[in-house]
Structures are given as structure tokens and as C-alpha cells.
DNA sequence: GGGAATCCTTGACGTAGATCAAATCCACGC
DNA sequence: GCGTGGATTTGATCTACGTCAAGGATTCCC
């Protein structure tokens, strides 16, 4: 996907030249100019670790295109991914010195970064940036708690279905709607990265994907390209008592 | 524990008559008066459900004394606790209509509640309340992500040790320090509530507690009263590469 | 085209923790 | 003191998922 596509499809704020829903949905023109003055872009390749846990972070950033993970590693190597970052998602905590997690690009990735010090000053002058950050953080907290239910109580099959549903939903938001609850997308994660996010092994991930394919819940073309013929069926498999409200 | 003890030991803001770290650490006297005007207390018994997921919530609140859980339940009854609330913790999201989780008192509980509408208005006039809320939410997000590592990758024994370490740390903050890394506290949770928080069954919880006792990591008096002779040993069992920095 | 590096799939088998089923403990009311 | 009911412990067995191992598929580079 090109940057232009993101600019075209991401939720935008009208006047903002970079259109970060993250920070500028309610920005005035002069605030946008201030943001522009402290921003810079960085791009990364799939597989690259952008930030190591414990690193000093002198910027905050939002994802322009691509997907990244937030990952924790125990001393003995056990790995758990604690967050997925899609375009428009925000990384970094104002007021924090050091990164708490590894941030890893799982696809080619473009980030829009803001130097932390001036960003914090701008926050001080511009209350709605802080408000927006609070909203986003609360949303992330909800997502983390939903994932806790998945990690603690769902079966391997339900976990895979849940992940596919979420990736599809986030990805499809960037594309035109397909007819009749159908959904088509590319998995932005390797089997191993999926396993680390779901608290499984990559073998179990592979087996369950094969099973969902055998049962007609999904279709696969290659290893990454997924077609979901019936999104509601997928949600049932995910064990969500949730809405299913994506395709109304 | 009495309310007076909480008032005495909880982080306080000096001038605040109710001493909620949650909302008033930086409040001016007139702001405290405004908070006082919209607050009311509610008390609950152990086991009571304060709020059902989906209920309309017309207040936000902070815990004065006791412990509560935030719990998600799937259609088929599988249950996952996604948060533990100790004294000074905050519940409720400004700008949200309905509760996303069941809130259950696991001990007798006293809450200090603020009517939501006026609380939001006060937030609008008083930026540091929003800032404080952002900080607290970010802390909760960190805690949720640490718990994701636990749920996804830790063994049953490590899960139990982690829970004991956290409960001990929170509880001990309210009491005088014991000599030489020793720690004494009462578990505020039944075995079943522990299981729901750890993604285990109550039988496994019971077995692992017995094992930790047999191995001398903890001592038990009755079912609830725990003595940890060596906190660092407990942290090792928890598999945390963390500091261990509670008893410096 | 070949080989080699990744990534993925599939099979055989082992095990941590779940499930099912009794006890046992303990607080509380009478 | 005595029964009653919930909470907990413990044992026996089962199973979903992990572990180990052996191929495929795809891409990239020479």
C-alpha cells in the first residue's frame, strides 16, 4: 500500500497535511503548523526491531502505514506480544523515559515521529491533545482487557478466529467494503508472530489455520492472503458474544 | 481494616479531606470543595456485584477500602477477571455510558463515588484532573500488558507466585514494613476468584498454593492469611526479570 | 537452474493443567 | 454442641496443546 492510499482512506481532520487521527483530529491550523515543525518520518523493513525494551525514547510516533507489534520477552526467551499497531495507532508515553517493550515492524513500516520534548510542550498548551490521548489510551486498555479474556479463557481455535476477525476489521477499514459480509485481507504477521500474540506455539497456529480452512471458515491463497466468506461465521468461531456489527 | 487506617496510610494530598490520590493529588482548596459537593459514599458486602456489564453508569468512583474485581463473562460462562481494584484505584470512564465489565466486591468494600456529569464538568475546568487520569490509565495499561504476559506465557506456579507478589505489594503498602524482606497479608480473593484472574481452574490454584507452601516459599495460616518469608524468592518463582525493588 | 534461507505444514508423542469426584475444613446459626 | 453449606484440598483420569522431528513451499541470490 502506498502512503497516498493511507492519506486517502485514514480518518482525517480536513486541514491537517499529515492527517494523524492520533493527535490532530481537532487541531487548529496554527497547532498543525506546530506539529509539522517537530515531526519527522522514519521507515523500517519487515522484521526490523525499531525500539528495544529499555531504550531511551526521545520521540513519540504514530503509524502511517504498515503494522508493528509491542512485545515482551522473559529472561528465558518466552515471548508475549501485548499490542498490535496499525496505521493511525500511537506509540510512546509522554513523561516516560524508556521504552517498556520491544517494538517490531512485522511489515514494511512508515512512522511519523514527533520529538518528545516539544510534543509535551505542545500538549501543555493544547488541552485537546491530552484529551485525545486519554481517549486513545482508554481504547487501548479496553483492547488489552479483551485480549486478557482471549489469553486466559479461549481455545486455540477461538484465538485464531479472534485474531483474524481483528486483523480483518482493522485492515478492511482501509479498503472498500466487499459484498455481503465477505472480507479479504493479507495477514501482516508470520505464524510465529501470531503465536506470540495468542500465547500459542507456531505449530498450533498452523494447525488451527488449516482446520479453519478445512471447515470453510476461511480460504487461503498462499500463506498470507485470506478470504473470509462469512464474517459473522468467523465471529461465532471467535466465541465473541459481541455485536458482529462490522458489516451491519 | 477501618476507614481511618486508609486515610492514615493512603498516599494523600495534604489538604484533601477525602484524600483520593485518584483525583485530587494536585487539587486547590476550591476544587476540593467542588469535588466534595458531588461525592457520596457507597458500601458493599463481600461477594456483591456492584455493577453489571451493560448497566448504565452515572458515576465514577474510587476505592476507599476493600478490594474489587473487573470481570468479563462469555456466553457459556467462562469467566476472566481483567482488573483488580485496591484502595485509591479508580473505576469508570468519563464519556462512557455503560459499564463494560462486572464489578464485584471480593471483600467488604467502601467506594467514594462522584456523579458523572458534574465530574466531567469539573474535569473540563481543571486540566490536571484529566492529566492525572491519563497517568492512571497509562499505569493500568501497563499492568494489563504485564498480565497478558502472565496469561499467555507463565506456568501455573509462576502465575500464583505473581499474584501473591502483587497482592502482597499492594496490601503491604497499607501496612508497616516487616523486617528483612518478610511480608504478611490476607488474600482478598477466594480460590475461584484467583483462578478467574489467572486463567486457571480453582483446583489448579489450590494445588499450586499447596506446592508453594510445601516448598517453603509461603506459609499459610487458615486459607487466607499468608506469610512470605523471602519476597525475592517469591519474585524468582514468579519468573519476573523485574527489579524486585520493593524491599530495597 | 541450484542451493540455501525462511517460513510453513504435518505427524508422533508427551505433559501441564482441566475435569470429575470425593473427602475435609470451617464459619455460622440454632 | 451440632448440623448445614460454602470453600478448599486432594486424588484419578483425560485432553488440548506443547515438543520434537521431518518434510514442503517460496523466495532470493549466485
Predicted pLDDT at B27: 63
The CATH number linked to A214 is 1.10.10.10
The answer to whether B137 contacts A135, with C-beta atoms less than 8 Å apart, is no
| Whether residue B8 sits in one domain with residue B128 | yes
Q: Answer whether residue B34 is part of any domain.
A: yes
Query: What's the number of domains chain A is made of?
Result: 2
Question: Do A125 and A187 reside in the same domain of the chain?
Answer: no
pLDDT digits (tens, 9 = 90+) for A223-239: 999 999 999 999 999 99
User: Are residue B162 and residue B121 in the same domain, yes or no?
Assistant: no
The domain boundary, picked from B122, B150, B178, lies at: B150
- Stretch A6-32: mean pLDDT: 48
Could you report the per-residue pLDDT of A127-139, keeping only the tens digit for each?
A: 888 888 888 999 9
- For residue B127, list chain A residues with Cβ-Cβ distance below 8 A: 127, 130
Residue A165: all three cell numbers together: 476477525
Which chain A residue has its CA at the smallest distance from B150's CA?
A: A80
Contact B134 A135 (CB under 8 A): no
B235 Cβ contact partners less than 8 Å away, ≥ 6 residues apart = B161, B165, B242, B244
pLDDT in tens, A44-86: 999 999 999 999 999 999 998 899 999 999 999 999 999 999 9
More confidently predicted of A99 and B16: A99
Residue A126, C-alpha cell as written in the block: 493544547
d(CA B82, CA B67): 14
Q: Round to a whole number and report the distance in Å from the CA of A115 to the C1' of D8.
A: 55
Is pLDDT above 80 for A14? no
Range of the domain at A70: 3-150
Q: Is the pLDDT of residue A36 over 90?
A: no
Do B135 and B172 fall within a single domain? no
Residues B132 and B14 in one domain: yes
Quick one: pLDDT at residue A25? 54
DSSP B55-113: -B--EEEEEEES-EEEEEE-TTS-EEEEEEE-TT-EE--TT--B-SSEEEESS-EEEEE
pLDDT of residue B117: 93
Do A11 and A128 belong together in one domain? Answer: yes
State in Å, rounded, how far the first CA of chain B is from the last one: 26
The distance (Å) linking the CA of B26 with the C1' of C9 is: 59
Residue B35 belongs to some domain of the structure = yes
pLDDT of residue B190: 97
Nearest to B72 by CA among B47, B102, B94: B102
Nucleotides of D under 7 A from a protein CB: 7-12, 16-21, 26-27
Locate A159 and state its grid cell.
484465538
Last residue of a domain, one of A150, A175, A198: A150
- Same domain, residue pair A159 and A135: no
Footprint of strand C on the protein (CB under 7 A): A 47, 190-192, 202-203, 205-207, 209-210, 220, 223-224; B 155-157, 199-201, 203-204, 222-223
Render A52-70 in DSSP notation, one character per residue: -TT-B--EEEEEEES-EEE
Instruction: Identify the burial level of B236 via C-beta atoms within 10 angstroms of its C-beta, where 0-12 means exposed, 13-18 middle and 19 or more buried.
Output: middle
Question: Would you put residue B112 in left (φ > 0), alpha (ψ -120 to 50) or beta?
Answer: beta
Residues B175 and B144 in one domain: no
C-alpha cell at B15: 489538604
The pLDDT score that the predictor gives to residue B194 is 98
Q: What integer pLDDT is reported at residue A28 of this predicted model?
A: 65
User: Is there a domain that residue A110 lies in?
Assistant: yes
pLDDT on residue B131: 85
Q: How far is B138 from chain A (nearest CA, A)?
A: 7
Nearest to B127 among A76, A100, A127 (CB): A127
CATH of the domain at A29: 2.60.120.10
Phi/psi for B11 (5° steps) reads -55, 130
C-alpha cell at A35: 506539529
User: Same domain, yes or no, for A75 and A137?
Assistant: yes
Q: What are residue A241's phi and psi, to 5 degrees?
A: -80, 10
Contact yes or no for B153 and A127 at CB 8 A: no
Tell whether B247 is covered by a domain. Answer: no
Distance B236 CA to C5 C1' (A): 38
- How near does any CA of chain A get to the CA of B9, in Å? 27
What pLDDT score does A11 carry? 39
- Interface predicted TM-score (ipTM) of this complex, two decimals: 0.90
- Look at residue A202 in the predicted model and tell me its pLDDT: 98
Residue of A nearest to B154 (CA): A78
- Candidates B90, B149, B154, B200, partner chain A, best to mutate (most A CBs within 10 A): B149
C-alpha grid cell for residue B5? 487506617
What does the pLDDT read at residue B244? 45
Query: A106 and A186 in one domain?
Result: no
Residues of A contacting chain B (CB within 8 angstroms): 70, 72, 74-76, 78-80, 82-83, 93, 95, 100-101, 127, 130-131, 133-135, 137-138, 140-142, 144-149, 151-153, 198-199, 239, 241
Look at residue B39 and tell me if it is in a domain.
yes
Tell me which chain A residues have a C-beta less than 8 angstroms from the C-beta of B74.
149, 153, 239, 241
* Mean pLDDT, contiguous 10-residue spans, chain B (248 residues): 36 39 59 81 93 94 93 96 93 91 95 92 85 90 97 98 95 68 91 98 98 97 93 94 51
User: In the structure, what pLDDT confidence band is assigned to residue A176 with cuts at 50, 70 and 90?
Assistant: low
HSE, CB side, 13 Å, CA atoms: give it for residue B24.
Answer: 26
Residue at a domain's end among A121, A150, A179 = A150
Specify the nucleotide whose C1' lies closest to residue B201 (CA): C18
Asked if pLDDT for residue A246 goes beyond 90, the answer is no
Give burial (CB, 10 Å; 0-12/13-18/19+) of A116: buried
Give pLDDT, residue A142.
96
Instruction: Find the Å distance, CA of residue A206 to C1' of nucleotide D28.
Output: 24
In a mutational test of the B interface, the residue from A69, A126, A133, A145 whose CB has the highest number of chain B CBs within 10 Å is A145
Neighbours of A55 (CB within 10 A): 15
- Residue A246 included in any domain: no
Residue A63 inside a domain? The answer is yes
List bases in chain C with any atom under 7 Å of a protein Cβ.
7-12, 16-21, 26-27
Question: Within this chain, do residues B159 and B172 fall inside the same structural domain, yes or no?
Answer: yes
pLDDT band at A13 (very low <50, low <70, confident <90, very high): very low
Q: Looking at the partner chain, which of A137, A145, A149 has a beta carbon nearest the beta carbon of B137?
A: A137
> Which one of B75, B77, B78, B145 would you mutate to disrupt binding with A, by most A Cβ within 10 Å of its Cβ?
B145
Number of other CB atoms surrounding residue B83 within 10 Å: 22
| Whole-number percent of chain A with pLDDT over 70 | 82
Same domain, A100 and A178: no
Q: Which nucleotide is nearest to B223 (CA to C1')?
A: D8
- Bigger pLDDT: A17 or B227? B227
Q: Do A131 and B130 touch (CB under 8 A)?
A: yes
Q: How far apart are CA B110 and CA A199, in angstroms?
A: 36
Residue B243 forms part of a structural domain = no
Amino acid at each position: 500500500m502506498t502512503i497516498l492510499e493511507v492519506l486517502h482512506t485514514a480518518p482525517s481532520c480536513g486541514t491537517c497535511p499529515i492527517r494523524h487521527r492520533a493527535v490532530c483530529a481537532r487541531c487548529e491550523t496554527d497547532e498543525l503548523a506546530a506539529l509539522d515543525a517537530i515531526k519527522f518520518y522514519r521507515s523500517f523493513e519487515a522484521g526490523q526491531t525499531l525500539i528495544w525494551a529499555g531504550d531511551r525514547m526521545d520521540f513519540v510516533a504514530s503509524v502511517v502505514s504498515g503494522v508493528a507489534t509491542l512485545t515482551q520477552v522473559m529472561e528465558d526467551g518466552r515471548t508475549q506480544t501485548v499490542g498490535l499497531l496499525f496505521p493511525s495507532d500511537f506509540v510512546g508515553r509522554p513523561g516516560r523515559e524508556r521504552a517498556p517493550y520491544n517494538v517490531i515492524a512485522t511489515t514494511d513500516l512508515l512512522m511519523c515521529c514527533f520529538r518528545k520534548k516539544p510534543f509535551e510542550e505542545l500538549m501543555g498548551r493544547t488541552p485537546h491533545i491530552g484529551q485525545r490521548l486519554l481517549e486513545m489510551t482508554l481504547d487501548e486498555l479496553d483492547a488489552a482487557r479483551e485480549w486478557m479474556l482471549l489469553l486466559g479463557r479461549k481455545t486455540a481455535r477461538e484465538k485464531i478466529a479472534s485474531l483474524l476477525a481483528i486483523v480483518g476489521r482493522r485492515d478492511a477499514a482501509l479498503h472498500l467494503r466487499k459484498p455481503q459480509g465477505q472480507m479479504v485481507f493479507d495477514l501482516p504477521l508470520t505464524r510465529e508472530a501470531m503465536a506470540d500474540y495468542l500465547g500459542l506455539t507456531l505449530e498450533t497456529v498452523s494447525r488451527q489455520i488449516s482446520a479453519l480452512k478445512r471447515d470453510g471458515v476461511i480460504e487461503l491463497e498462499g500463506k498470507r492472503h485470506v478470504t473470509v466468506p462469512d464474517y459473522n461465521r468467523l465471529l461465532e468461531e471467535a466465541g465473541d458474544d459481541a455485536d458482529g456489527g462490522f458489516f451491519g
